Chains A and B, each alone.
Chain A
């Protein structure tokens, strides 16, 4: 089956620093990957759609300069939280879909970001 690897699983950073989260499709190519944010006991909130070789599409209200997305290859997308602040602390999850949709959407294991 399709596997998506997300790293790191947990990260603690100081306020004002930047953090990079990686999302890799291990056994399929993903022209499109998705980044979500989830607050405790709430639903997933789509932040942006990452397109290989082009600019990401951000959802309304998501600051593109704060959350930098790079999708440089068919198997790797990265989310960089720039100048992180405590309010950026959250659970971030990526997902990807194989081109044929045979496996549907596959999600990473998530990254717990804590900004102190």
Chain B
């Protein structure tokens, strides 16, 4: 059974810092990995999707890497802003189209 862990559970940083969120998974036979953002009382917004054959994906100030062999992914946020404050979720798709396994999330607060 796939298990996904995110570290840290919460993070508070001053504006402008570069930061790294970590995600680890136990079963390396993944189809893809997705990073989401959830604002309070809202749905999930997909940030980055990394297919199993890819090593990283970038979108603006966000960069996500994937190392399947070690069961790890990181989300790098450059020059953090208060608007980045949210919960970030890592999710793994093991079996094309069946379901996602989520990590517990990292609650990020970026202080002005």
Residues of A within 8 A of B (CB): 6, 31-32, 34, 43-44, 46, 49, 91, 93, 95, 97, 99, 101, 103-110, 112
Contacting pair B44 A93 (CB below 8 A): yes
| B34 contacts across to A, CB distance below 8 A | 104-105
Query: What chain B residues lie within 8 Å of A44 (beta carbons)?
Result: 44, 89, 102
**Chain A residue at minimal CB-CB distance from B31:** A101
Interface centre among A31, A104, A109 (most CB of B within 10 A): A104
Q: How far is the CA of A24 from the CA of B36 in the complex (A)?
A: 20
Interface residues on B, range: 20 to 34
Residues of B within 8 A of A110 (CB): 41-43
Instruction: Summarize B's interface: helix, strand, loop or mixed.
Output: strand
Stretch in B16-24, B78-86, B93-101 with 4+ CB within 8 Å of A: B93-101
- B42-64 vs A, CB cutoff 8 Å, 1 = contact: the mask equals 11111001010000000000000
B99 close to A34 (CB less than 8 A): yes
B32 at the interface (CB under 8 A from A): yes
Tell me if B91 counts as interface (CB < 8 A to partner A): yes
Question: CB within 8 A of B99: which of A46, A91, A103, A106?
Answer: A46
Q: Are B43 and A93 in contact (CB under 8 A)?
A: yes
